[in-house]
Chain A
Amino acid sequence: MGALELKGITKAFGTTEVIKGVDLTVNDGEFCVFVGPSGCGKSTLLRIIAGLEDASGGDILLDGKRVNDVAPAKRELAMVFQSYALYPHLTVRDNMGLALKQAGKSRAEIAAATDKAAAMLALGPLMDRRPAELSGGQRQRVAIGRAIVRTPKLFLFDEPLSNLDAALRVATRIEIARLHRDLKATMIYVTHDQVEAMTLADRIVVLRAGKVEQVGTPMELYNNPANTFVAGFIGSPQMNFLDAAALGFPPGQAGIRPEHVAISREGGALAGEVSHVEKLGGETLVYVRNDLHGLMTVRLFGEHDFAVDETVHLTPDQDRMFYFDTDGHRRA
């Protein structure tokens, strides 16, 4: 049980409106990712859901009940913070058990719940340490463990991986995905990293400047972006945007993903010079300067040799092109 509904949520700090009317439904058991650039209001929205911040307007419903005036601890949710936010004076065990203790659970219940969570996250040997004696990755696992112990209806994650190094980030990402499968709980996960969003989400909510730009499954967003912002934000490397008029279409932009552009030395639709080449082993990225459309990225599978300043010809896959009007909206 853990369906969430937001109705017309707004939030202003003083006179600056940070959340500008968000309507959203998150289904029970769903893994929903809020993604957007820094400062777009993701954390603020999450804090409003948690009850740490009062909404300036709108309703928050958990399982159909309005919870605007319910204290955070009574909303049956758990939150994992970017900075871990472990209690420095408590051991791992006590960090994990505190919420249950506050809720008046018996010692045996607390022990059972913490041990179970510890087993899930392989925290057994760390249980009697204090946060200061743990590495960053261990701390984040403890923070996740602390959330699990409460068996909440709703998990909230606020950029939980951004303080970890790349390898740990992938490992922890997989762990979180596994947890979601095992616990079947509703999770809302905030990130500015579209890779995390794509790999974890059942559904992605793209936010920009306090507004929802688009909601959909990762593939819906990839294949069907509603506007240039979403099209540019989802997918890596970023989509190429060409001048639609120069290609003979109505004015606006034409988008094509780097993996949907063919490159040839012999001939093609658009000529240009190679300005830079990145070889990643499994794939090769070629940056090509075109006089009309600017810098374009081409993504090739495998190893390829191109020399800088060499003249090449690019051909976008017409079926994969997206057309946007001058306001950035996708043309029907």
Chain B
Amino acid sequence: MSARMSPGRTFAAHAALITWTLVALFPVFVIVINSFKSRKAIFADPLALPWPGNFDLVGYQTVMKQGDFFLYFQNSMIVTMGSLFFVLLFGAMAAFALSEYRFKGNTLMGLYLALGIMIPIRLGTVAILEIMVASGLVNTLTALILVYTAQGLPLAIFILAEFMKSVSDDLKNAGRIDGLSEYRIFFSLVLPLVRPAMATVAVFTMIPIWNDLWFPLILAPSEEVKTVTLGAQVFIGQFVTNWNAVLAALSLAIVPVLTAFDLVGLVNRSTPNLDPDLAGYTVEPDFKAALTRLKPDLVNISTYSDSHADYACAAMEAGAHVFVEKPLATTVADARRVVDGAKANGKKVVIGYILRHHPSWKRLIAEARALGGPYVFRLNLNQQSSGATWEVHKTLMQTTSPIVDCGVHYVDVMCQITDAKPIEVRGMGLRLSNEIAPDMYNYGHFQVLFEDGSVGWYEAGWGPMMSDTAFFVKDVVSPNGAVSIRMPESARSDDHDTHTKTSTIRVHRVGQPDLDLSMADEPGHQDLCEREQAFMARAILEDIDLTRHMEDAVQSLAICLAADESVRSGNPVKL
């Protein structure tokens, strides 16, 4: 073929290339034009260009507000760049070793690595997940970087080894005679000469990593370590509600953890009506005897608050880890006793702050933190209870007032939003029923003052007299706007799911339209309990340090107890 092509052929070649370019760019073009249009306009005519009639930036506004896209982007960046760095570094080094040094098994090693090109790393997902769980790397960017480095190495080594073979031996030998170390020869003589190959490998390596959804979903699905591709899935769920696939994959990640527990026995002073699932178990009345006989690994204490501390300590002394319902105890001294017992016995104590495992509450906390303090916290939960629920409430009130029993959750939320220390608590309450002890009150509210100026209000009332109006206020106000959880009007105040179901989060920013984040498909109470259980399992299996977890529980209890003291004394309590 002649070096110069005839004009006809030149034209044909360019036409073919341009056509292909247009075809390849078309989807990108459609994405870009539609991103500037309203939802209705997109579906009305997907190919229409944006013009004043259909122009809408709502897509970008949603992305900017919902989900921390800069964080996702940063995560993707860190993962991609980190993996790329290690793939190029280790890939080039291995390629250099394979091409430069003669050693036993050199060819075999090359073949073994080449095999890695043909076997997709996803086949090993389950094993990788197990390794990551065992090493406590789940939900870290490190896990992703490690996997992607492994994924990228075979091809990188294969390509780079070929290129390195072509680097002149004389040059390397000249370096050796001049006294350069093998590292200097590698870094300053060989690497610069294979730069074009490195660039090729970089592109080959980078694209699949950046686009990957599989490993982020399985190894790092939590909010702080989400990558852009995974973060974008939030929006898919919002409109298409195709959560099945995503949740199925997510469940995979939890499965090995959930199977960690096996129920060995039940203890109760009376004989409750058991759920059919528990039919095979007998209920023992004596806790100490059960501990001695069953030697459980974990004891779940869901008794009334005044017995928490004693049972928890007894369980830990018998060698068991403890899951205890909130509040941890009825006095700060008892709570401390449990924490000290956990440290002394080297046992894990998880306190049942279920809201900590709730995506909507996590989201509320994240959105509120994003607004910036100081904050006003307006939180309440009144329960119009009657019948069996009222009986439970009355038994609870033999030891604990409503603001202490439920307040610990919400004080915990306040403390997670503002990192400032609480400094003062003021409380007041009223006894609205003769069915409770003369010194108990079934309605109360308190205010907490924080070091940064934040103020918190919490209200709780139980009983048949309570009203259904504004019984569920979950509202955080800051100088820049507010974040609230909104309930459907039909919600009932004594339904268990009401505590944990949240429906919609509304983000209001000053001067901007409100943004409603639908939490429709969110987990129910059972699902949350499973997450809590999974956390317990991880704490034990991965030896997670729970010091902060326990200290938070003691602190929120201390605040609520201070509120109770303030109710009774009529004076503010300094913390």
Q: Does A52 contact B (CB under 8 A)?
A: yes
Q: How far is the CB of A114 from chain B (nearest CB, A)?
A: 13
Q: Does A332 contact B (CB under 8 A)?
A: no
Name the interface residues of B188-227: CB closer than 8 Å to any CB of A: 188-189, 192-193
The answer on a CB contact under 8 Å between B173 and A85 is: yes
0/1 string, B155-178, CB within 8 A of A gives 1: 000000000000010110111111
The answer on a CB contact under 8 Å between A72 and B177 is: yes
Given A87-B189, A88-B192, A89-B188, A73–B176 Cβ distance below 8 Å? yes
Q: Which residues on A sit within 8 Å (CB–CB) of B168?
A: 83, 85
**Interface size grouping (class) on chain A:** 20 to 34
The answer on a CB contact under 8 Å between B179 and A79 is: no
Q: Does A81 contact B (CB under 8 A)?
A: yes
Q: Which residues on B sit within 8 Å (CB–CB) of A77?
A: 177
A81: which of B174, B178, B179, B192 is its contact (CB, 8 Å)?
B174
Q: How far, in whole Å, are A72 and B168 apart by their CA atoms in the complex?
A: 18
Given A87-B189, A88-B192, A89-B188, A81–B180 Cβ distance below 8 Å? no
Q: Which residues on B sit within 8 Å (CB–CB) of A78?
A: 177
Q: Which residues on A sit within 8 Å (CB–CB) of B179?
A: 73, 99, 102-103
Q: How far is the CB of B168 from chain A (nearest CB, A)?
A: 6
Q: Which residues on B sit within 8 Å (CB–CB) of A102?
A: 178-180
Q: Which residues on A sit within 8 Å (CB–CB) of B188?
A: 87, 89
0/1 string, A66-86, CB within 8 A of B gives 1: 000001110001110111111
0/1 string, B510-533, CB within 8 A of A gives 1: 000000000000000000000000
Q: Does A20 contact B (CB under 8 A)?
A: no
Q: Which residues on A sit within 8 Å (CB–CB) of B173?
A: 47, 50, 52, 72, 79, 81, 85
Q: How far is the CB of A34 from chain B (nearest CB, A)?
A: 17
Q: Does A22 contact B (CB under 8 A)?
A: no
The answer on a CB contact under 8 Å between A72 and B176 is: yes
Q: How far is the CB of B356 from chain A (nearest CB, A)?
A: 56
Q: Which residues on B sit within 8 Å (CB–CB) of A89?
A: 188, 192
Q: Does A262 contact B (CB under 8 A)?
A: no
The answer on a CB contact under 8 Å between A73 and B174 is: no
The answer on a CB contact under 8 Å between B193 and A99 is: no
Q: How far is the CB of B459 from chain A (nearest CB, A)?
A: 73
Q: Which residues on B sit within 8 Å (CB–CB) of A71?
A: 176
0/1 string, B336-376, CB within 8 A of A gives 1: 00000000000000000000000000000000000000000
0/1 string, B21-50, CB within 8 A of A gives 1: 000000000000000000000000000000
What is the interface of chain B mostly: helix, strand, loop, or mixed?
A: helix
A87: which of B171, B176, B177 is its contact (CB, 8 Å)?
B171
Q: Does A6 contact B (CB under 8 A)?
A: no
Given A73-B179, A77-B177, A102-B179, A88–B170 Cβ distance below 8 Å? no
Given A88-B193, A89-B188, A81–B170 Cβ distance below 8 Å? yes
Name the interface residues of A46-60: CB closer than 8 Å to any CB of B: 47, 50-52
Q: Which residues on B sit within 8 Å (CB–CB) of A88?
A: 192-193
Q: Which residues on A sit within 8 Å (CB–CB) of B189?
A: 87
Given A77-B177, A78-B177, A103-B179, A85–B192 Cβ distance below 8 Å? no
Q: Does A126 contact B (CB under 8 A)?
A: no
B178: which of A51, A83, A98 is its contact (CB, 8 Å)?
A98
Q: How far is the CB of B376 from chain A (nearest CB, A)?
A: 63
Q: How far, in whole Å, are A99 and B192 apart by their CA atoms in the complex?
A: 20
Q: How far, in whole Å, are A89 and B192 apart by their CA atoms in the complex?
A: 8
Q: How far, in whole Å, are A118 and B174 apart by their CA atoms in the complex?
A: 19
The answer on a CB contact under 8 Å between A79 and B174 is: yes
Can you name the residue of chain A whose Cβ is closest to the Cβ of B181? A102
Q: How far, in whole Å, are A302 and B178 apart by their CA atoms in the complex?
A: 50
Q: How far, in whole Å, are A332 and B170 apart by their CA atoms in the complex?
A: 44
Given A73-B179, A103-B179, A87–B174 Cβ distance below 8 Å? yes
The answer on a CB contact under 8 Å between A79 and B192 is: no
Name the interface residues of B294-343: CB closer than 8 Å to any CB of A: none
Q: Which residues on B sit within 8 Å (CB–CB) of A52?
A: 173, 176-177
Q: How far is the CB of A177 from chain B (nearest CB, A)?
A: 23
Q: How far, in whole Å, are A119 and B106 apart by their CA atoms in the complex?
A: 47
Q: How far, in whole Å, are A89 and B175 apart by their CA atoms in the complex?
A: 13
Q: Which residues on B sit within 8 Å (CB–CB) of A87?
A: 171, 174-175, 188-189
Can you name the residue of chain A whose Cβ is closest to the Cβ of B178? A99
Q: Which residues on B sit within 8 Å (CB–CB) of A82?
A: 170
Given A85-B170, A85-B171, A87-B171, A79–B193 Cβ distance below 8 Å? no
0/1 string, A242-255, CB within 8 A of B gives 1: 00000000000000
Q: How far, in whole Å, are A88 and B171 apart by their CA atoms in the complex?
A: 9
Q: Which residues on B sit within 8 Å (CB–CB) of A81?
A: 170, 173-174
Q: How far, in whole Å, are A75 and B178 apart by their CA atoms in the complex?
A: 10
Q: How far is the CB of B311 from chain A (nearest CB, A)?
A: 71
Q: How far is the CB of A166 from chain B (nearest CB, A)?
A: 23
Q: How far is the CB of A137 from chain B (nearest CB, A)?
A: 18
Q: Which residues on B sit within 8 Å (CB–CB) of A72?
A: 173, 176-177
0/1 string, A89-131, CB within 8 A of B gives 1: 1000000001100110000000000000000000000000000
Q: Which residues on B sit within 8 Å (CB–CB) of A103?
A: 179
Q: Which residues on A sit within 8 Å (CB–CB) of B192?
A: 88-89
The answer on a CB contact under 8 Å between A73 and B177 is: yes
Q: How far, in whole Å, are A50 and B174 apart by their CA atoms in the complex?
A: 10
Can you name the residue of chain B whose Cβ is closest to the Cβ of A103? B179
Q: Which residues on B sit within 8 Å (CB–CB) of A146?
A: 174, 178
Can you name the residue of chain A whose Cβ is closest to the Cβ of B189? A87
Q: How far, in whole Å, are A83 and B169 apart by their CA atoms in the complex?
A: 10
0/1 string, A27-68, CB within 8 A of B gives 1: 000000000000000000001001110000000000000000
Can you name the residue of chain B whose Cβ is closest to the Cβ of A53? B173
The answer on a CB contact under 8 Å between B178 and A73 is: yes
Can you name the residue of chain B whose Cβ is closest to the Cβ of A99? B178
Q: How far, in whole Å, are A81 and B175 apart by their CA atoms in the complex?
A: 12
Q: How far, in whole Å, are A47 and B170 apart by their CA atoms in the complex?
A: 10
The answer on a CB contact under 8 Å between B177 and A50 is: yes
Q: How far is the CB of B160 from chain A (nearest CB, A)?
A: 18
- Which of B171, B173, B180 has the most A CB atoms < 10 Å from its CB? B173
Q: How far is the CB of A165 from chain B (nearest CB, A)?
A: 20
- Which of B177, B179, B188, B193 has the most A CB atoms < 10 Å from its CB? B177
Can you name the residue of chain B whose Cβ is closest to the Cβ of A83? B170
Can you name the residue of chain A whose Cβ is closest to the Cβ of B188? A89
Can you name the residue of chain A whose Cβ is closest to the Cβ of B171? A85
Q: Which residues on B sit within 8 Å (CB–CB) of A158?
A: 170
Q: How far is the CB of B568 from chain A (nearest CB, A)?
A: 81
Q: How far is the CB of B470 from chain A (nearest CB, A)?
A: 74
Given A87-B189, A88-B193, A89-B188, A99–B177 Cβ distance below 8 Å? yes
Q: Which residues on B sit within 8 Å (CB–CB) of A47?
A: 173
Q: How far, in whole Å, are A82 and B177 apart by their CA atoms in the complex?
A: 15
Q: List 5 A-B contacts (CB under 8 A).
A: A52-B176, A79-B173, A81-B174, A82-B170, A87-B171
Please give the residue numbers on chain B whose beta carbons come within 8 Å of chain A beta carbons, in ascending order.
Answer: 168, 170-171, 173-180, 188-189, 192-193
8 A-B pairs besides A50-B173, A85-B174 with CB distance below 8 A are A50-B177, A71-B176, A72-B176, A81-B173, A85-B168, A87-B171, A87-B174, A89-B188
- Closest 6 pairs (CB-CB, A-B): A73-B179, A102-B179, A85-B170, A99-B178, A81-B170, A85-B174
